[in-house]
Amino acid sequence: MSKTIEYTEAIVPYRHEELMAKVAAQLTDKRYQHCLRVEETARQLAADNGVDVELAGIAGLLHDYAKQRDDQTFIQLIKTHGMDPNLVSYGNGVWHGYVGAELIKDELHIYNEPILNAVRLHTVGAPYMTKLDQIIFMADFIEPARDFPGVEAAREATAKSLADGVRFQIQHTLDYLIQKGAPVYPQTLATYNAWVGGVAPQFAN
Amino acid sequence: MSKTIEYTEAIVPYRHEELMAKVAAQLTDKRYQHCLRVEETARQLAADNGVDVELAGIAGLLHDYAKQRDDQTFIQLIKTHGMDPNLVSYGNGVWHGYVGAELIKDELHIYNEPILNAVRLHTVGAPYMTKLDQIIFMADFIEPARDFPGVEAAREATAKSLADGVRFQIQHTLDYLIQKGAPVYPQTLATYNAWVGGVAPQFAN
């Protein structure tokens, strides 16, 4: 299990147990255990897909670092960091990715862009995603304790290919949000259009 | 039935039967009959909602004027009229509204902006829609020959209020597109977010 991991690369300025403690300090035990499962799932997906396992594990462990901050903290950070002002109209479900990356820089002094971007995108995806981005996106969705109608199909798609997993998840999530009548951040639609709808990513916005 | 209508206002430079002939010349009989039903439904909704009946009828009659042009015509018009270049990535389902309004100006010399805008928006809606826009959007969706799961609920919602109808349609249509894996024009999402998702319309794009 992940508790016995010792880092061998100089990706972050912490030992594994130090980073675990920093994540644990920000979250309920239930959510912290989710982070450990995402770490483990991300390491497995990395091994299966030729991605650096230690890098993927760190991104997985960190992905929900900011999840339990209050809304005012997120809104303040959106303003002080000059982020898309439209973000304010959405909620924690979008913020803890985009804004979480800023908190990881500010508080943990981790500046590894592949990790930060995987954290940023894990809630909404993107038209272009690196394999690491795809791994964190999928590990969060299919970690062993996840249980929702379709999770087995999601696991099978991801085992076939990361891209199949991403396509499954973004269509499933968008459908879920719309049936609920929940707001959808435009980047979520851009991800869907690029991966499922066959629309070429648009750079001219 | 609409064939006996005589216009009494100076909204367009045609008599009713002249405008009918111009629409009929562009469409199969089946689609032309749909336009007559949308005209009639729009007039009824206008009468029920305090909107100019003649104006609504003209917009309803014209709403699909461009529907049967070929893709190359639409793509050429998007370029020559300096429209959003991203439109090219979508298809007739979006184009015949936005681009159709340009064809109505170019070929019929109708420049009534409330009519043109109702035609523009009838395929994707908008965060802000006039009552006339809402009437054409709904008349197209619920005209008597429409038959799909949910059409009766759509009719009931519209009878309750135009806004309830708009909310029903945009959620239903977006859900349909996503379940199909079809591309979704971002304006369609903006309409959904504003009417269903509770996101304030964004002007800063």
Rounded Cα gap, residues B18 and B159, in angstroms: 31
Count of domains forming chain B:
1
| Helices and strands: H and E segment counts in chain A | 10, 0
Interchain proximity A86–B189, CB inside 8 Å: no
Distances (CA, A) of B65 to A20, B107, B119, B154: 63, 10, 9, 24
Interface of B with A in 71-100 (CB under 8 A): 85-86, 89-90
Q: Does B190 touch chain A (CB under 8 A)?
A: yes
Question: pLDDT band for position B4 (50/70/90)?
Answer: confident
Instruction: DSSP letter for A106, please.
Output: I
Q: Does A189 touch chain B (CB under 8 A)?
A: yes
Q: Does A175 touch chain B (CB under 8 A)?
A: yes
Question: Does the pLDDT of residue B205 top 50, yes or no?
Answer: no
Rounded Cα gap, residues B191 and A167, in angstroms: 24
At B150-160, the pLDDT tens digits run: 999 999 999 99
Residues of chain B found within 8 Å of residue A204, distances taken between Cβ atoms = 85-86
Query: What interhelical angle do A113-121 and A131-142 show, nearest 10?
Result: 40
At B170-179, the pLDDT tens digits run: 999 999 999 9
At A154-181, the pLDDT tens digits run: 999 999 999 999 999 999 999 999 999 9
For residue B172, being part of any structural domain is answered with yes
For residue A69, being part of any structural domain is answered with yes
Both tokens assigned to B98: 């936005």
Distances (CA, A) of B183 to A75, A201, B96, B165: 31, 12, 16, 23
Q: Residue B204's pLDDT is what?
A: 41
For residue B8, being part of any structural domain is answered with no
Burial of B205 (0-12, 13-18, 19+ CB in 10 A): exposed
Question: pLDDT band for position B200 (50/70/90)?
Answer: confident
Closest partner residue to B199 among A171, A183, A198, by Cβ? A183
Residues of chain A found within 8 Å of residue B199, distances taken between Cβ atoms = 89-90, 183
Of chain A, the percentage scoring pLDDT greater than 70 comes to: 96
Of chain B, the percentage scoring pLDDT greater than 90 comes to: 93
Q: Does A33 touch chain B (CB under 8 A)?
A: no
Nearest alpha carbon to residue A18 among A34, A8, A33, A3: A3
* B122 touches B140 (CB < 8 A): yes
Q: Does A203 touch chain B (CB under 8 A)?
A: no
Query: From the candidates A164, A187, A189, which should be mutated to test the interface with B, based on the most B CB atoms within 10 A?
Result: A189
**Boundaries of domain holding A48:** 14-192
Question: pLDDT band for position B3 (50/70/90)?
Answer: low
Mean pLDDT, residues A98-114: 97
Closest partner residue to A178 among B90, B175, B205, by Cβ? B175
pTM of the model: 0.90
Q: Residue B202's pLDDT is what?
A: 53
For residue B184, being part of any structural domain is answered with yes
Question: Does the pLDDT of residue A136 top 80, yes or no?
Answer: yes
Question: Does the pLDDT of residue A202 top 70, yes or no?
Answer: no
Instruction: DSSP letter for B85, please.
Output: G
Question: Does the pLDDT of residue A204 top 60, yes or no?
Answer: no
CATH of the domain at B133: 1.10.3210.10
Question: Does the pLDDT of residue A101 top 60, yes or no?
Answer: yes
Distances (CA, A) of A128 to A29, A114, A166, B119, B199: 33, 13, 11, 34, 26
Mean pLDDT, residues A103-127: 97
Q: Does B174 touch chain A (CB under 8 A)?
A: yes
For residue A5, being part of any structural domain is answered with no
Distances (CA, A) of A108 to A21, A36, A65, A82, A181: 12, 18, 10, 20, 36
For residue A6, being part of any structural domain is answered with no
For residue B3, being part of any structural domain is answered with no
Query: From the candidates A167, A178, A180, A193, which should be mutated to test the interface with B, based on the most B CB atoms within 10 A?
Result: A178
Question: Does the pLDDT of residue A76 top 60, yes or no?
Answer: yes
* B41 touches B144 (CB < 8 A): yes
For residue B204, being part of any structural domain is answered with no
